[in-house]
Amino acid sequence: MGIKRVKPRVRIEHRIGCLHNFADTVVCLNGEILGKPADEEEATEMLKKLSGKEHEVVTGYCLISRDMRLSGHVLTKVKFAELGDEKIEEYVKSG
């Protein structure tokens, strides 16, 4: 999986000593990118998909200051324990 480099669409005012930090994270399961769930039903379905399985969490980041720009990504493999329906419901309801 590749992460596309995009130009920031915001104007950043660079002040001496100021560091801007941008980041975003996605979850990937078997090549499928799982977006942020829109509601409790989608959250429940996502957790059921992830239950007992290993997936990847990819965080892209960019640090920008007046003098430098540093960007990259970090990939973490995560293994979920088996989650029963009751545990999933409890977690989703917690917000």
Q: Which of 74, 59, 52, 51 is nearest to 27 (CA)?
A: 59
Which are the contacts of 51, defined by CB distance < 8 A and separation ≥ 6? Answer: 80, 81, 82, 83, 88
Of 24, 39, 67, 85, which one is the catalytic site residue? Answer: 24
Asked if 24 is an active-site residue, the reply is yes
Active site residues: 24
